[in-house]
Chains A and B, each alone.
Chain A
Amino acid sequence: MAPVCVSFRKVSKNYDQQSWVVDSLNLDVREGEFVTLLGPSGSGKTTCLMMLAGFEEVTSGEILIRGERVNDIPPHKRGLGLVFQNYALFPHMTVAGNLAFPLQVRGMDKAEIRARVDEALEMVHLSGLGARLPAQLSGGQQQRVALARALIFHPTLVLMDEPLGALDKQLREYMQYEIKRLHEQLGLTVIYVTHDQGEALTLSSRVAVFNEGRIQQIDAPDMIYEYPANAFTAGFIGENNLLQGELLETDGDTCAVGAGGGRLRGTPVGVAGGGEVLLAVRPERVLINPDGDCANALDGRVGDLVYLGDYMRAVVELGGGGELIAKYPNDRGKRDIKAGQPVKVGWHAEDCRVFPAPPRTGGKGA
């Protein structure tokens, strides 16, 4: 395993002595990792990044970069590459001037600077545009300049704060690819902040899901998606059907829950005894007219039916109240399902995760 690059140790931050923006955060990022801090706005992810960059003070705890405590090191001495959402190019300098800036403040000689600037322009496919002013570039080009500028002094740790937030969808996908390429090509360690989960799942080696100043879960993208650790992550990442119910019994790997007018089986995650629970099952794991060996089956009626081309999306009104969203592939066999038609829906116990119900329900879903 690669050595630890950045480590947050019990880092807390508050502005007003009352509410914690970041609440005793522990996080280790290893060399070469691409870790995304993902969460709704106000969840503390940007504050974490700014504390690491040195622009926000740490209220308590410590931040280490390669084993060295950096709490009291001013930002200009931390040597991190930093990319902001709004590009933050210097409008009064040319593209080449922007790229040369970090090298000039390091006192590099002119010939070397020129060579590095050319190399950086080439790296982001902008050769020949060095003499332009930032205002004369498109949004995507500006973002590539910002990226090149953050990398030109060869930092090995790069922080990005919603760098693609201002771009349109198509450009964003292209830039995701570019960032991924640079990450691999240059062997960078990247800490990336976003509220776009698609971006997080695509780019990251690990995703840290933030809410209310705490990391709810940190894991590889597929693990986060498949095995959410709590109700927040289940509701926040991807689409999920969340059903309220009551825990009836637990036996080993599965448990029984009373919900939706029936007895349902799921995989318990941190539940024991009894009480209010939340069932989460992904729409694509909800089966229409399941086989006999399916652990759960409920009666319902197809409400809205949306045709998505390769997929169908159905809202199933359950007999016992409530509704579920089911997403199923557009097979020949299922073409005859029509809105208003009674159906059976079901899912396997291992596709259904049962969490303790949070004090107030967060997230989305049915």
Chain B
Amino acid sequence: MNGNGKPAFDAGQIAGLDAAFAIVRAVGVPEDKIEDADRRQHLVRGVAAGLHRSRAFLLVAPLLLFLAVTYLVPIGGILFRSVDDSALQTWMPKTAAAFAQWDGAGLPDEDTLAVFAAELGQARKERTIGRVANHLNYRMSGMRSLFNKTGRRLAAGGGPDAAGNWREWLAQLDPRWGRRQVWTIIKAASGRYTQVNYLAALDLRRGDDGGVARQPEGKRIYVKIFLRTLWVSLAVTLFCLLLGFPVAHLMAGLPPRISNWLMIMVLLPFWTSLLVRTTSWIALLQSNGVINGTLVWLGLIGDDERIQMVFNLTGTVVAMIYVLLPFMVLPLYSVMRGIPRSLTRVAVSLGATPLTAFARVYLPQTLVGVGAGSLLVFMLAVGYYITPALVGGQSGQLISNFIFYHIKVSLNWGFASALGVILLAAVLLVYWVYHKLVGIEKMRVA
């Protein structure tokens, strides 16, 4: 084709096409309609389009790679970590195997205890005991000190004399070794995977009979926090909608010169650090703050009746509404700007009162924006961390603050991961419901 023996495209393909056209000719399509040149051109165009597509793909490949590394891998990581229970298997493999055999009735037998004691002393010498001890400490507090104390003695050559046995020696060293619960926890950790993080995240636990039971009253924390996060997010979304709708409506109806100024006002908060804006709410809302000060000065409340508005749930809700409001206004504005004003005019001219025209003609067309804005605000609110952390006090903490606590303070990453996965599942559920009600493809953000 181009002289050096390399055809621009595969000769076999052309031969195949020729055969195909021969059949077409045979069934009576006029031959002059199937021009050879046309066919080749079509093929060249197809190849060119293919090249174009793969080039476009190469251009977005870095982004895909970036997303995969920074988004999918961490999510996979927390999914795995939330069920990972391999510490005992990895660092004390023989113990894990022996406890897997134990039937869980009474206390473990001497052979099992001997294996356990030997490996515990070894782990102490190799300084890997901490990994197992920390892991088990999340299941029951005190396990770390118990393991370290026992390991130290074993590594120093401690053990029962010829007449004695491991059970007595251990019980003498620490009475906790005489309790079945301690051994049950070791047995429970002998597998590779565990549901214990999820059970704990839902305020459940394994009962003594092995069945799932609720935590005792005083230890139920997380379901309450999840529900609080849920209703705070819903309340914030609702208030953002109530406050943002009129603003977006106003902006969409004004001439661009004025609405651009309003848009700048809406976006202005983004120019200031979130930290600064959130802490300024403390200055406004605190007991000696601007609002209480004004109310006292006006004589509306007494000096000893100052209202507690910050470092509690009220503070969290107020500050979150403020921070998330632009995320409601922008999608609403974008949708409302696309709705011609003549539609409400025509509705009124057809005899509808302005209220009816609004409800039956204008409002239904804004629903796409209402959905998009609400979804956006709700999603952001559900995972919001910094605002509740700063102004939430004790009662205003949300689930993300607890996730942070377990990652940064208690270092129980497995449990933090389980909380995160439950949150993710809840968000996906909301997304799915939105998709069923409105349709994701109709989402317009800005």
Q: Which of A's residues lie within 8 Å of B, judged by CB? A: 53-55, 74-76, 78-82, 84, 86, 88, 90-92, 101-102, 105-106, 149-150, 153
Contact = CB atoms under 8 A, between A and B. Distances in A.
Nearest to B352: A105
A76 B348 contact: yes
Contacts of A105: 350-353, 356
A102 B365 contact: no
Which 4 interchain pairs have the tightest Cβ spacing? A82-B349, A102-B350, A88-B346, A105-B352
Given A84-B342, A88-B340, A76 B361 contact: no
18 contacts: A74-B348, A76-B350, A76-B351, A78-B349, A79-B351, A82-B346, A82-B349, A84-B346, A88-B346, A90-B343, A101-B350, A101-B352, A102-B351, A102-B352, A105-B350, A106-B351, A150-B349, A150-B350
Contacts of B351: 76, 79, 102, 105-106, 153
Interface string B328-364: 0000000000001011011111111110110011001
Contacts of B349: 53-55, 75-76, 78, 80-82, 150
Contacts of B342: 84, 86, 88
A366 B90 CA distance: 100
A81 B365 CA distance: 23
Contacts of A86: 340, 342
Contacts of A79: 351
A295 B343 CA distance: 58
Contacts of A80: 349
B347 A90 contact: yes
A51 to B, nearest CB: 13
Contacts of B345: 55, 75, 82, 84, 88
A102 B360 CA distance: 12
A335 to B, nearest CB: 44
Given A105-B356, A150-B349, 11 more contacts: A53-B349, A55-B345, A55-B348, A74-B348, A86-B340, A88-B346, A90-B343, A90-B361, A91-B365, A105-B350, A105-B353
Nearest to A82: B349
Interface size class on chain B is 10 to 19
Q: Which of B349, B354, B360 has the most CB of A within 10 A?
A: B349
A82 B343 CA distance: 11
A82 B349 CA distance: 6
B346 A76 contact: no
Nearest to B338: A91
B350 A149 contact: yes
A310 to B, nearest CB: 41
Contacts, number: 60
Given A76-B353, A101-B352, A102-B351, A92 B346 contact: no
Contacts of B347: 90, 101
Contacts of B354: 74, 76
B157 to A, nearest CB: 84
B347 to A, nearest CB: 7
Nearest to B344: A88
B346 A153 contact: no
A253 B129 CA distance: 123
B340 A92 contact: no
A338 B357 CA distance: 64
A229 B67 CA distance: 74
A85 to B, nearest CB: 8
Interface string B350-388: 111110110011001100000000000000000000000
A74 B346 CA distance: 13
B348 to A, nearest CB: 5
A6 B360 CA distance: 31
Q: Which of A53, A81, A90 has the most CB of B within 10 A?
A: A90
Contacts of B352: 76, 101-102, 105
Interface string B3-41: 000000000000000000000000000000000000000
A340 B1 CA distance: 59
A75 B354 CA distance: 9
A210 B364 CA distance: 39
Contacts of A81: 349
A184 to B, nearest CB: 23
Contact of A101 (B353, B360, B364): B360
Nearest to A75: B348
B364 A92 contact: yes
Nearest to B357: A76
Contacts of A153: 350-351
A324 to B, nearest CB: 44
A76 B340 CA distance: 18
A78 B352 CA distance: 11
Contacts of A78: 349
Nearest to A76: B348
A153 B345 CA distance: 17
Nearest to B360: A101
Nearest to A102: B350
Contacts of B346: 82, 84, 88
Contacts of B357: 76
Contacts of B361: 90
Contacts of A90: 343, 347, 361
Contacts of A150: 349-350
Q: Which of A55, A81, A101 has the most CB of B within 10 A?
A: A101
Contacts of A55: 345, 348-349
A150 B352 CA distance: 13
B286 to A, nearest CB: 47
Contacts of A84: 342, 345-346
B355 to A, nearest CB: 10
B97 to A, nearest CB: 66
A88 B356 CA distance: 17
A69 B350 CA distance: 20
A102 B351 CA distance: 6
A322 to B, nearest CB: 45
Given A76-B353, A76-B354, A105-B356, A88 B348 contact: no
B186 to A, nearest CB: 64
A78 B351 CA distance: 8
A92 B357 CA distance: 13
